Amino acid sequence: MLLYFGHEDENAPHTQGVALMLSKVARNPLVEWESHGSRIIKALFKTKKEGITMNIIQCYAPTNDSNDDIKDQFYERLQSIIEKCPRKDLTILMGDLNAKVGIDNSGYEDIKVTTNMLHLLFKKIWEEEQVPMDWNEGYIIKIPKKGDLSKCENYRGITL
């Protein structure tokens, strides 16, 4: 099953858009899904634990060379969606964040070696429906924008 949302106009260029592919096993616990513009979707899944939902947020971020207002709107919307997820629920953020983080511009090339490890970790979490206890905490990560980095307005924050 493919959950997809992109441009509403059929004649729009094929830019943006976000999707989540579900296996046969993942289809049954799917409660609902919703789009939050052409770059973010959120899917809710039942878990075996009573009263706990798993929120999967799939996103496709604007690139670093995009307009600052577009990037700010995206990250503000993403932060708002994350904050609306109940703290008791499991929330997983994934997708293409199209960003290089920090002053040293670390990007995909620096983290691609962790892909197999992360896949195994998320597979174990899915199968056991048990999340590491320290994942209940959030950390605000500041992402620099262009401009004078000694000024607060030249950063945007996201909670991980």
pLDDT tens for 21-48 read 888 888 889 999 998 988 999 999 999 8
Task: Give the C-alpha separation, 77 to 80, whole Å.
Answer: 5
Confidence at residue 95, expressed as pLDDT on a 0 to 100 scale: 87
Task: Give the C-alpha separation, 99 to 156, whole Å.
Answer: 12
Confidence at residue 134, expressed as pLDDT on a 0 to 100 scale: 74
Question: What is the per-residue pLDDT across 77-117, written as a single tens digit (0 to 9) for each?
Answer: 999 999 999 989 999 998 887 755 555 555 556 656 677 77
Confidence at residue 106, expressed as pLDDT on a 0 to 100 scale: 56
Confidence band for 54, pLDDT divided at 50, 70 and 90: very high
Confidence at residue 82, expressed as pLDDT on a 0 to 100 scale: 93
Widest CA span of the chain, in angstroms? 50
Confidence at residue 108, expressed as pLDDT on a 0 to 100 scale: 57
Confidence at residue 109, expressed as pLDDT on a 0 to 100 scale: 61
Helices (H) and strands (E) in the chain, counts: 4, 8
Task: Give the C-alpha separation, 160 to 36, whole Å.
Answer: 19
Q: Which residues pair with 96 in a beta bridge?
A: 60
In the block, tokens 């597979």 appear at 123
Q: Return the SS3 of 70.
A: helix
**HSE-CB of 45 using CA atoms within 13 angstroms:** 19
Confidence at residue 3, expressed as pLDDT on a 0 to 100 scale: 81
